[in-house]
Amino acid sequence: MSFTAFVVSVPLDQVFQHIEEYQNEYVERLKDWVAIESDSSDPLKRPLVINMMHLAAETIRTLGGMVEMVDLGMQELPNGHKISLAPVILASIGNDPKKSTVCFYGHLDVQPAKIEDGWLTDPYILTEKNSSLYGRGTSDDKGQVLAVLNAIEALQVHDVTFPFSLR
């Protein structure tokens, strides 16, 4: 396995200033994502999982990304009913065949969360405590996906040209 190192000249002071200026907006985005109860284990919440996928796809499009929503078909439940599986997002930002490709993976569904499971706050309301943010999906994996998208946005604002394509 080989790895290629990329050197990007980034105006870090400007990028960090942008992140500071937009911190409240980034937190609001995370709040919106956490509020979607995209619990993939609950068939009744499948529409919310699908909604989460469409919200992420729209966020990628606003960054200039090309998005394909891949239909995975149906799931048969134990009672015989069939429901749609959530689509998978295949997306790219940039498509220069001369550049290497960097692939990011993340999932936007969550597992069940209830106060009686040990949550000290409502899991679907982003809550700040002791300078930390708590909410279902903040660390697995909505928060990470959104952090990558927010970082791409902050770099794009400062005309950083990536020496790679993002997938």
Domains and CATH numbers, the chain: 12-166 (3.40.630.10)
Residue-wise pLDDT tens digits, 38-47: 999 999 999 9
pLDDT at 96: 81
Alpha helices (runs of H) in 66-141, residue ranges in sequence order: none
CB 30, CB 138: distance < 8 Å: yes
pLDDT score recorded for residue 162 = 73
Q: At what angle are helices 23-35 and 142-157 packed, to 10 degrees?
A: 150
pLDDT interval class at 8 (50, 70, 90)? low
If one compares 22 and 96, the residue with the highest pLDDT of the two is: 22
pLDDT at residue number 117 = 87
Nearest to 105 by CA among 139, 148, 67: 148
Given pLDDT bands bounded at 50, 70 and 90, which one contains residue 4?
low
Peptide bond into 159 cis (omega under 30): no
Q: Helix, strand or coil for residue 165? A: strand
**Dist CA 102 CA 164 (whole Å):** 6
Q: Report which of residues 154 and 12 the model is more confident about.
A: 154
Please state whether the predicted TM-score (pTM) of the whole model is above 0.85: yes
Q: Which of 15-24, 42-51, 102-111 has the highest mean pLDDT?
A: 42-51
- Report the SS3 class of residue 148: helix
**Which of residues 3 and 11 earns the better pLDDT score?**
11
For residue 39, the cross-strand partners are 110
Q: 100-102 and 164-166 as β-strands: parallel, antiparallel, unpaired?
A: parallel
Q: What is the mean pLDDT of residues 77-95?
A: 93
